[in-house]
Amino acid sequence: MKRSSPFIRRGSDIDIDDAMTPMIDVVFLLLVFFVWTASFQIIEQILPSNMSELSGSDPVNQLEPPEPKDFDDIIVRIAWDGQSPTWKINDQLFASVEEVKTQLSTIADIQAEAIVVLHPDPVVPLGIVIAAYDTAKLSGFSNVSFAVNPQGSR
């Protein structure tokens, strides 16, 4: 007796489910592909453009952006005469830390973006240097840094 093979199909035994499964898989993959790639498109309303929002033929006044101002650094020199510190702001001599604070506050009102460079002599006590740093920060400057002497030079 001859047994029928499961691998050989006859024309009348074709099932609709067997023919539709590969087609459904392909359609599903195409659908996933198009949905996935469509989510990466840039929305056109948010693209930058130079078009005017005004209608009509009126000329549009385009304001040019202000040029960035380049401020000079404010250099605070602190020297030590053996008893007390001497202060210089951009080569202008000041007698006390209160005068330095007043001058830095005045400058900060004009240009708070400027860089303050503290340049203490190596013999200046650390407490005086920290007080100068605090004075510059409390005056309104956000960018306060220290000058570094090359090795062995003053």
pLDDT category of residue 8 using cuts at 50, 70 and 90: low
The reported pLDDT for the residue numbered 30 is: 92
The first and second tokens of residue 91, run together, are 């080569």
| Residue bearing tokens 């002599």 | 121
With a pLDDT cut of 90, the percent of the chain lying above it is 5
The reported pLDDT for the residue numbered 98 is: 86
* Averaged pLDDT for residues 47-56: 56
Q: From 126, 136, 95, 115, select the one nearest 87 (Cα to Cα).
A: 95
| Residue bearing tokens 């951009």 | 90
Please provide the DSSP assignment of 12-80 as one string: GG--HHHHHHHHHHHHHHHHHHHHHHHTTPPPGGGS-----S--SSPPP-PPPPPPPP-PPPEEEEEEE
140 conformational bin, left if phi > 0, alpha if psi -120 to 50, beta if neither: left
Least confident of 7-11, 30-34, 78-82: 7-11
Report the length, in residues, of the chain.
154
Asked if residue 98 lies in contact with residue 66, where contact means CB atoms within 8 angstroms, the answer is: no
Q: Any idea what DSSP says for residue 83?
A: S
* The pLDDT of residue 29 is above 90: yes
pLDDT category of residue 145 using cuts at 50, 70 and 90: confident
- Between 1 and 35, where is the model more confident? 35
pLDDT category of residue 21 using cuts at 50, 70 and 90: confident
The reported pLDDT for the residue numbered 122 is: 85
Residue 67: C-alpha distances to residues 60, 62, 63, 114, 131 (Å): 21, 15, 12, 16, 35
Residue 126: C-alpha distances to residues 15, 26, 42, 59, 109 (Å): 92, 76, 57, 62, 28
The reported pLDDT for the residue numbered 45 is: 62
> CATH says 74-146 is which class?
alpha beta
pLDDT category of residue 27 using cuts at 50, 70 and 90: very high
Least confident of 2-6, 61-65, 107-111, 136-140: 61-65
Q: Where are the domains of the chain?
A: 74-146
- Apex CA 54: angle with CA 50 and CA 55, to 5°? 115
